[in-house]
Structure 1
């Protein structure tokens, strides 16, 4: 009897558990609860004036990714793929491109509807918006009115209670006037509204959804569909298409100014064919046009097709979890740009604690292509992220304390470190296409010791580095990487701003003393050696032909050196990374002298030894002594260099540092 009661109790508990799971998986609650999602935060979208807005009436922007034709690339229509786009890329919408022809809906109605409903389910579970795209191409949509009404009737009945479903009722109509598109759209809208009263509906526009016939025409804006709310009008562009950069560039702004809500339901970085060139500069300009107007967009396309608009490399077989090397040139750009537009802008505009009261630090940057941006202050991002644009100049000023000033210097491509600038004077260049690579900032004035200035930069390849402080270098050196953005704050002296400060700078030079050599046959070594590591070769009978030496960034002072070159004899002294020796002349180095200058010479001794043909490693030379041979016609093959504190023990024997004939 007790066993029977236990079985009944266990059965009842199972039923309760199942019912509780079923209760959780309703359309309103399907989004995974791991974190707030776009749909859980913003809910059902609407159109207010020309703007897409969220459930709170606040402007909202979709950053979506379009599938390719589901009949061809359905393997990417999976939950893991969409979660990668959501979590790694920052995408908040999936456009499900259901072709009507070309092996799509007309060929397999049930199969294609299953792919669409699967895609909506995955997006819903992930808290993403789902755009159901009736993907007509190069046709008059009126020819498909009956089928479209039947399809969207079924979709609207199914998704009428979903907050995340958007209907795109004709992808790229062409070869027909706006009046035909409008007539078709009105019938399909009526069908949807009979069931789904307020979902967003995107209407295709003439000439492959270019907001009007070719040229500066705006038929949908001049004659919109009336009597229905929450309608938007499709605009498509391809960033590298020459004709799109001639007369389409004004279309978005002009149409919005005429009162038309615009939605870029498809765009690509390639030419309009989906293939050809990818122009990242043009792509960045197009992104800025959309972002400046808060226009939503979906990029074409999520597939590994061997064409330049595809986001996944053709050699990549993964259908989710892509790393950066799995992405095409277009895919890498889109991932970077979408990540920069993530709604959690704390990545770009972090919260900094203990800002100095009544003190404002204001700054603005000159950005490649875009010119001077608007001034921002107190930790807000200046510059761009995800647009592959270099910072070229910067101005910084402080206010709130007449006894406080600020100065700054930048490391500029080709020119190196510039002189200090102060209080709103530009550092860097304009009109020369030179990137900023690093920056130092420090406070000035009678009250400078009352405050600390913190700053961090977004560097090409490395992203956001940690925060530098009070004149420390921020950025990179020796890597030819552009600065793309910057944050700056001021806090009371000694206050904890609550930010990371460990990785503030990335250097190609790994140690206190850095050096690399030009080796016979092999040329310049790819990487700098440091702090006693051998540069060159041993046992390969290869001569050293040239050398560069420089101090690490934390050592104040300099280093100078000269080499004895076959035939030419002793060369002049050079310093701080300049080449000594020759390349392309087949001349061996035979000896070298190295010494420190400035403050470094007071703090350190520099030791060095060479590997010489026939003799092997010689002993250590020091502070300008000759290392190598004289009059023996013997090549240097390798070198080691170290710094030791002034007066400390040598790293090894010193008796036989050179050999003279």
Structure 2
């Protein structure tokens, strides 16, 4: 189907479904929706960790490719069914990440129910599309009581579904933060909270230095099944040295997932680094490591995929940034489609 045909078909489907721009989609609950035939979840089912790799329900290795939404309090317009449906149909993502803001003004720390509702909307939309969804408690510092409330509520609602992947700590900071002393005990507490409602879906664990010290985590891993460790990178800043740390973690038996990467600098700005981006994509594919890009948002920075003021779906090339055009083209190529 041509891109125009895809847009028209999606518009028709969304109109028939009666989806509103930011409201949760109407219709049956997520638990009653069958994964669409041929969708990633229909093909792979529930994911688990086996021999240091993420594998599907058939025991075969799985590499998810997708996009992360921007901080939920600053780009709420993209936390809706249309955005997720467009990413699945046009960008060919197999996973999306709901980056639920747990810090900053107007975050889940002060508006918990509202932010839980945003996460639920994205989960419901991902289930309807048959793709996976990472539920990210998007914080740089520990807020254990609030995190427990957030994770317990959503795990209670959605923990029985194969689509859901949990990420209880986006990016622990570097200074005065120790993996074994500070971060590991936090993860143990969050894993227990999630497992009280969801016994087996993947849980992705962050490490110090903005989720780059995976080699430290490998020396003292969190006990439990189906635990994965996230690795974050920005291609223009992080190169062979960070891949060497990741290689060490993989060699030690840690399962990795890149829940956030950028094709620019770690500041979120600067020019696109195509050569380094390709090196990272090649590394991830070679090692069977899933990867999701930052971000679906219209912020005025070069890591954003969308131009300021872009609508919630149906983006043409003129509404994408250079990073957005690059990431969309890569995802479509990885799915075996023309740009």
Scaled by the length of structure 1, what TM-score is found? Answer: 0.45
Corresponding residue number in structure 1 for 2:132: 129
| Distance in 2 of aligned mates of 1:32 and 1:133 | 22
Q: Which secondary structure state, in structure 2, belongs to the residue aligned with residue 248 of structure 1?
A: helix
Summarize the Cα distance change of 1:210–1:294 in structure 2 as closer, same or farther, 3 Å threshold.
same
* 8 Å CA contact retained: 2:100, 2:115: yes
How many angstroms does 1:107 deviate by?
2.0
| Distance in 2 of aligned mates of 1:27 and 1:151 | 18
* 8 Å CA contact retained: 1:65, 1:300: yes
* 8 Å CA contact retained: 2:41, 2:162: yes
Which of 306, 323, 330 is the equivalent residue of 2:323?
330
Residue by residue over 1:129-149, the C-alpha shift from the partner in whole angstroms, topping out at 9 and shown as x without a partner, is: 111100112x3x2xx222222
Report the structure number with the largest CA radius of gyration: 1
| Distance in 2 of aligned mates of 1:27 and 1:49 | 31
Corresponding residue number in structure 2 for 1:252: 246
Corresponding residue number in structure 1 for 2:12: none
Corresponding residue number in structure 1 for 2:227: 231
| Distance in 1 of aligned mates of 2:153 and 2:312 | 29
Q: Which secondary structure state, in structure 1, belongs to the residue aligned with residue 239 of structure 2?
A: helix
Scaled by the length of structure 2, what TM-score is found? Answer: 0.87
**Any gaps of 5 or more consecutive residues in structure 1?**
1-23, 213-217, 348-462, 465-661
| Distance in 2 of aligned mates of 1:28 and 1:195 | 15
Aligned residues: 309
| Distance in 1 of aligned mates of 2:102 and 2:29 | 30
* 8 Å CA contact retained: 1:234, 1:265: yes
Corresponding residue number in structure 1 for 2:148: 149
**Matching of residue 206 in structure 1 with residue 198 in structure 2:** no
Counterparts in 2 of 1:311-322, with a 5 A limit?
A: 311-314=305-308, 316-322=309-315
Residue by residue over 1:231-273, the C-alpha shift from the partner in whole angstroms, topping out at 9 and shown as x without a partner, is: 00010000011xx125213222221111111111100111101
| Distance in 2 of aligned mates of 1:63 and 1:246 | 21
**Matching of residue 279 in structure 1 with residue 273 in structure 2:** yes
Q: Which secondary structure state, in structure 2, belongs to the residue aligned with residue 250 of structure 1?
A: helix
| Distance in 1 of aligned mates of 2:29 and 2:77 | 26
**Structure 1 vs Structure 2 CA RMSD:** 1.7
**Matching of residue 86 in structure 1 with residue 88 in structure 2:** yes
* 8 Å CA contact retained: 1:232, 1:261: yes
Corresponding residue number in structure 1 for 2:22: none
Q: Which secondary structure state, in structure 2, belongs to the residue aligned with residue 36 of structure 1?
A: coil
* 8 Å CA contact retained: 2:112, 2:150: no
| Distance in 1 of aligned mates of 2:325 and 2:103 | 31
How many angstroms does 1:31 deviate by?
4.8
How many angstroms does 1:284 deviate by?
0.8
| Distance in 2 of aligned mates of 1:31 and 1:271 | 40
| Distance in 2 of aligned mates of 1:42 and 1:111 | 32
Summarize the Cα distance change of 1:158–1:29 in structure 2 as closer, same or farther, 3 Å threshold.
closer
Which of 69, 90, 110 is the equivalent residue of 1:107?
110
How many angstroms does 1:28 deviate by?
5.3
Which of 185, 189, 196 is the equivalent residue of 1:187?
189
* 8 Å CA contact retained: 2:47, 2:201: yes
| Distance in 1 of aligned mates of 2:159 and 2:320 | 36
How many angstroms does 1:29 deviate by?
5.1
* 8 Å CA contact retained: 1:30, 1:127: no
Corresponding residue number in structure 1 for 2:218: 221
- Larger proportion of helix: 2
Moved over 3 A (4+): 24-29
How many angstroms does 1:184 deviate by?
0.5
| Distance in 1 of aligned mates of 2:59 and 2:287 | 16
**Any gaps of 5 or more consecutive residues in structure 2?**
1-26
| Distance in 2 of aligned mates of 1:27 and 1:108 | 24
Corresponding residue number in structure 2 for 1:558: none
How many angstroms does 1:160 deviate by?
2.1
Counterparts in 2 of 1:464-479, with a 5 A limit?
A: none
Q: Which secondary structure state, in structure 2, belongs to the residue aligned with residue 98 of structure 1?
A: strand
| Distance in 1 of aligned mates of 2:41 and 2:28 | 15
Q: Which secondary structure state, in structure 1, belongs to the residue aligned with residue 243 of structure 2?
A: coil
- Larger proportion of strand: 1
Counterparts in 2 of 1:396-475, with a 5 A limit?
A: 463=338
How many angstroms does 1:88 deviate by?
1.2
| Distance in 2 of aligned mates of 1:107 and 1:146 | 13
Corresponding residue number in structure 2 for 1:158: 157
The higher-RCO structure (CA 8 Å, 6+ apart) is 2
* 8 Å CA contact retained: 1:236, 1:265: yes
Summarize the Cα distance change of 1:70–1:186 in structure 2 as closer, same or farther, 3 Å threshold.
same
Corresponding residue number in structure 2 for 1:653: none
* 8 Å CA contact retained: 1:166, 1:201: yes
